Amino acid sequence: MNALNFSPFVRTAGPGGAGGEAVDPGELFDAVRAAGFTGVGLDLFTVDAWAGRGHTPDRLARDLTAAGLRCHEMLGFVVSDDEGSTYEGARRIAEALATFGAPYALGMVTAPPGPRSADLFARCAELIADAGGMAAVEFLPFTPLATIADARALVRHAGAGRAGVLVDTWHFFQGPDTWDDLSALPAEEIAYVQFNDHPAVLGTGADLYHECMTRRVMPGDGVFPLGAFRDALAAKGYAGLVSVEVNSAELAALGPAEFARRAWAATRRYWS
């Protein structure tokens, strides 16, 4: 059975968050658990915002456990041209991952592809592994790391057990990859899956970043063939984490209880 996780990405202070000010952590945790999820994805922007309101990471980790939840993913570090900034971001994510006991740290790559960015990612993965987690590299069609093959190359360079590919339905269906590319990805190279939908498959000239960060919809409410996607993963033996990540200002405005309830109901149509 796949573990189901809710990743609300609730603050706009970082790149692309769909919410407003970070919601109260207790309200969020209670809402996520009441909906049926056993895990929640957190991002460093929100954790920092909560810390500014007196909720230290250690306290948040205790509150999360008390709510019957686990943090399954921590967002996120960025491998950029700035080596110092890259390492500092990875260090902070590794620290948060250790505090919350999260198994995965999500990373993206904005540096041009090549040996230097591969080595930078491998160093980040080493920091995260030392903290007890795995670096999950996300391919995004609006970044230099745009395909499954790109992500697999970084994972192989970082080494088995230290890194895996994060497969997000949005980036798969809106990007250049094909079903054959997905089929060629071994289950053991997948870190975890992010699950969501969109009202349309976007064409050339669309603002992919804006659409990705603000206009996702619940699974089944858009045009992605999510049943076929699930079946493709099941065929390769994938039985890992599925994290529902629906970046939507409209849905976030409903409040955490309704947002989480809708996410659970939509996702259970595909994963049980």
**Is residue 96 a contact partner of residue 57, using CB atoms and an 8 Å limit?**
yes
Tell me the per-residue pLDDT of 204-214, one tens digit each, with 9 for 90 and over.
889 999 999 99
Q: How do beta strands 242-244 and 163-168 pair?
A: unpaired
Q: Is the pLDDT of residue 14 over 60?
A: no
Spatial CA neighbour of 7 closest among 54, 51, 69, 55: 69
Give me the domains of the chain, ranges plus CATH numbers. 4-267 (3.20.20.150)
Residue 10 has a pLDDT of 54
What is the C-alpha to C-alpha distance for residues 35 and 117, in angstroms, rounded to an integer?
Answer: 40
Spatial CA neighbour of 3 closest among 248, 195, 258: 195
What is the C-alpha to C-alpha distance for residues 221 and 267, in angstroms, rounded to an integer?
Answer: 11
Residue showing tokens 């498959």: 201
Mean pLDDT of 5-9: 86
Tell me the per-residue pLDDT of 38-67, one tens digit each, with 9 for 90 and over.
999 999 999 999 999 999 999 999 999 999
Residue 12 has a pLDDT of 37
Confidence of residue 19 (pLDDT cuts 50, 70, 90): very low
Tell me the per-residue pLDDT of 158-197, one tens digit each, with 9 for 90 and over.
998 999 999 999 999 999 999 999 999 999 999 999 999 9
